[in-house]
Structure 1
């Protein structure tokens, strides 16, 4: 699964990297410890709308940065709290599940990340790791998104939420956890974001082996366990034995 990640690029860098316009309205923030239910930057591609909100399907789709809340709320949900249980979507079953299949067909997004956190269980202990790429280019997680409207308040602004697609872990990542986010390579961005492409068969493919092999699996501080901790030190490599000694010094 993917339950925590880092997103430290400001919109100016993401605009250039994804060739998108910024629709975050100045509300985007860098975050070294992104947790579910936070509002974070995603990349979408949609056809423009006219003044009455009607989609102009004859106009080319525009790629943009948008803020969304992490945790998908299906359009038919009665209560938005269900989103906290839908932070991830399994690639293997997304096309079959009522909560995800509509979004998978027409509402796909990319989730820019510097890397993600995962915990390796050793006995009763869970050791945190940070998985990140070799350069400055973002890891682009495949995602799906939805727009939810409260049925008792038709004038309320819609709640825009997303979920990260996950697949079986591959290569070196299997030493940490059995699941991983689907990383969409740059060559597949256009297809993943295309709002007119409803055949997703060729999109839900495993992360390329070369991307998996290039990732650094970095042991990090257990400070990341607390969602209130948020700073660049969370991404630093640590010696787990040294950290254990700091928090549990030998008895005299």
Structure 2
């Protein structure tokens, strides 16, 4: 699963990294949550950032609100399921990020938030698909899902799934309309554990209303009540 992520970069850094133009003002984000409006890059418009909502209602469901249960989709079935196979073919996207969060269970009732990222705060992206649908007010919404795979060794402490992480070379294939299904499915692999880092962060990340830089800083491991623990 991927339930929360960060994008603590400036508009200029994102435009340079992805070679795409962002027409709207962008504020750095440290605690992005489902249903929020965030920048992505689509197959249809690879030279510009679009702003879509995180959380998808399948294309066959009309007039439904953005649903939390549709924030992720599995790599193993994304090209097969009726709810996603058309998007896999025609509506692929990448979601810029510089880290994501997971909650490590260290007791029956204790979970410690950890941040997963790449060395040197490298910007990367998640693999995704997007949809267009009509909401209950008759407005057209654009939404996306993050594609997940089986967790690598580092992520297994927090979940059995992890987001598909891309670097530049994979992004080019994913956003190429001429890429074949075999090429695309081959990209959907767990990111190598040895190329990632993970560390505990403040339990304040549990609060969606908190969006500040300190959330991505390493802290002493604490439980959900803010108490320090011996577990790392």
Check whether TM > 0.5. yes
Q: 1:79: Cα distance to partner? A: 2.8
* TM-score (normalizing by structure 2): 0.88
Q: 2:104 aligns with which of 104, 120, 129?
A: 120
CA contact (8 A) 1:91 1:165 kept: yes
Q: What is the rounded CA distance, in whole Å, between the counterparts of 1:88 and 1:171 in structure 2?
A: 20
Aligned pair count reads: 224
The answer to whether structure 1 residue 234 and structure 2 residue 215 are counterparts is: yes
Q: For 1:11 and 1:245, how far apart are their aligned partners in 2?
A: 36
What's the offset of the Cα at 1:99? 1.7
Aligned equivalents of 2:104 and 2:3: distance in 1? 13
Shift of 1:189: 1.2
Q: Is the 8 A contact 1:45 1:64 kept in 2?
A: no
Residue 119 of structure 2 aligns to a residue whose secondary structure is: coil
Distance 1:133 1:144 in 2: 23
Q: Unaligned 5+ residue runs, structure 2?
A: none
Q: Over the residues paired in the alignment, what is the CA RMSD in angstroms?
A: 2.2
SS across alignment from 1:14: helix
SS, match of residue 13 in structure 1:
helix
Between structure 1 and structure 2, the one with the greater Rg is 1
TM-score (norm 1): 0.81
Q: Distance in 2 between matches of 1:245 and 1:183?
A: 31
Match of 2:60 among 45, 56, 76: 76
Residue equivalent to 2:177: 195
Cross-structure match for 1:86: 70
How far off is 1:196 after superposition?
A: 3.8
Summarize the alignment of residues 1-252 of structure 1 with structure 2, pairs less than 5 Å apart: 1-23=1-23, 25-26=24-25, 28-46=26-44, 62-122=46-106, 123-150=108-135, 153=138, 156=139, 158-197=140-179, 199-204=180-185, 205-209=188-192, 212-240=193-221, 243-245=226-228
Alpha carbons 2:92, 2:174 under 8 Å: kept: yes
